[in-house]
Structure 1
Amino acid sequence: MSRERLAALHAANAFDAAPLRSVMHRLHVPFDELTGTTGCEHRLLTSVQARHRVALVGISGSGKTSVTESVLGPTVEGLAPIPVSVSVESPDIATHPVAFAGHVVALVRRWVSAGLPREAGRVARLRDRPGATSQRFTIAPSWLGAKLELGTELRQATADEPVSSGERLEQAAQLLAIIEAHDLLPVLVLDDTDRWLNLSWQPDSEAARAAFFGRVVRVLAEDLATAAIVAVHPTYLRDPNYRAAAGFLDTTIRIPALAGPAAVHRVLARRAGLALDEPEDAALSGLLDPGAVALLFEQYRAVPDLRQRILQVMHVALTLAVDERAEVIREGHVRAALTETVIDPD
């Protein structure tokens, strides 16, 4: 029976280290529950509701995106999250306020177009083609689809292409004001800034950080006056360019580290329970050796990267266990997985 349950976990890709955004809020175990405090998810929610611009601090893979998706997810009413991913866009978006504002407008324009009946049908047909995945297409968020009049007003507001820099900033501010007029609080989410300021397409990452924190973040506060969540790598805290932007980031929240093996087990049990459609407190019963969990925690304690040090390793360990038709994922499977897993030391 255990062998079949392990196979079911594997078939369901239960420990996928990079799940779709749309399911992250279900997979996430709140750090507030794991720590018995209110310093993470609860504080983030109250901060954005107060229109704060929040620096969410943690290394890549520590759980910043999962926390954000949990707090701003579809079950939370009154918020309109606007994810602004720039890691695959022009470098200017990270360094020039006008380019950033134009990117926000273009993003909303694509959402509105995808929501129109004719365009939405075309996107659906493309998405359903063999080999297509939902990640290849821009899908309008649920808060936009629930309000027809909002979509119409945003379409009208994005119809004209601004000429001057001031007009671009005004157009972005107008979009946010329209969203708020429909009893929704817009929240700009920049959850890849812990990575994109150091990518190879930024030939001078220090200058990029100076421009982003000195100019773009200032625009978020002074011109757009919007709530925002900005992913911040811990090394940025020592950066004078980041420190200079402190007056424009109202709140700093650090992603807490898991305290021990029990927390690691809880994270894995949530995913196993959803994959097997079982209560999470019983989903891993008899399937995971305590020594395997302890080893996962030791790896995580060295570098608190949930994605690479726990989920990615666990996925490989599960694969190894299934391949040898084992009844339990043991410490040996985790050790073998560590030799096969490329782990970024961050």
Structure 2
Amino acid sequence: MLFTPLKVGALTLPNRILLAPLTRARADAGHMPNDLMAEYYSQRATGGLLITECTMVAPGTSAFVNEPGIYSDAQIAAWKKVTDAVHAKGGRIYMQIWHAGRAAHPDMNDGAPTVSSSATAIEGDIDTPKGKVPNAVPRALTAEEIPTIVAAYAQGARNAIAAGFDGVEVHGANGYLIDQFLRDTPNQRTDVYGGSLENRARFLFEVLTAVIAAIGSERVGLRLSPLNSHNGMKDSDPLALTSFLCEKLNAFKLAYLHLMRADFFGVQKADVMTPAREKYKGVLIGNMGYTADEAEAAIAAGKLDAVAFGTAFLANPDLPARIQAKAALNTPDAATFYTPGAKGYTDYPTL
């Protein structure tokens, strides 16, 4: 089943082994993509679909210092080298578009203020160019400011298409801005963007509506993580949130829904894949810790349609070939996940 073609929006994927979005912090100063990134993605072009690392839709929203952006003409031109390299090898690639919200910090953004759904900070410290400092207390966005951010997502999507991407994945996961509206622990608003499920989902739905208007629903995917506690996230009822979103998302006719099934830290535990499959009628992609055998079985059983592999694809640029040959996998080197340069990035051996 992993090697059965799959129609995803405007694309037909040759296999169902996807590259999950993985922040690698290899961009140059000014959040510029570069030749090393082109090599990294093109090495993995045999995946059914590659999804890039989170990419900033606006300046002043950095959470990692060296993540890329898609808000300038220079960035568009630099990304074109990446998409050209992937397409030259017969691959397909989506850009994950993203706003960090409260996970950003003024020390990474020339003093730019941090914003979120509410004025609640992530607990603990963050690494910045000035060293480890406490996470910033964000300023709650006003209702009047939200359309400007929605427009930035739409423009980011247009820019991605101009850079040669086959589509975009809206990042609604892992405690970044959209997720900060969706889940009720960080979202303490009392206006139309807070409280009920409908209100908390309003910002996401406005972003999707704008992005779809910009580039067409057949080129738009969405990633969600109802359980993941990364960036201090929690929801009082993740199953209700999952069911509500999956039912409502059918109307958007997305290329796919990409669901993270677990919590990095094991704080919240539940089966979100079953209600997602019951409610969502489109292409459902699972992610987090799937082995090839488990992915094969889940697809065969109709539980999902494809699987996005993270660290396994990071360490095995030829992952589809290795799975098909039942070959041993390289071991990921966690020490080089976010370090600069080619080591642990483009130097993993192929078969």
What's the TM-score bracket when you normalise by the shorter of the two chains?
0.3 to 0.5
Given the two structures, how large is their TM-score scaled by the length of structure 2? 0.33
Given the two structures, how large is their TM-score scaled by the length of structure 1? 0.34
Larger Rg, first or second structure (1 or 2): 1
Identify the structure with bigger relative contact order (alpha carbons < 8 Å, sequence gap 6+): 1
Q: Which has the higher helix share?
A: 1
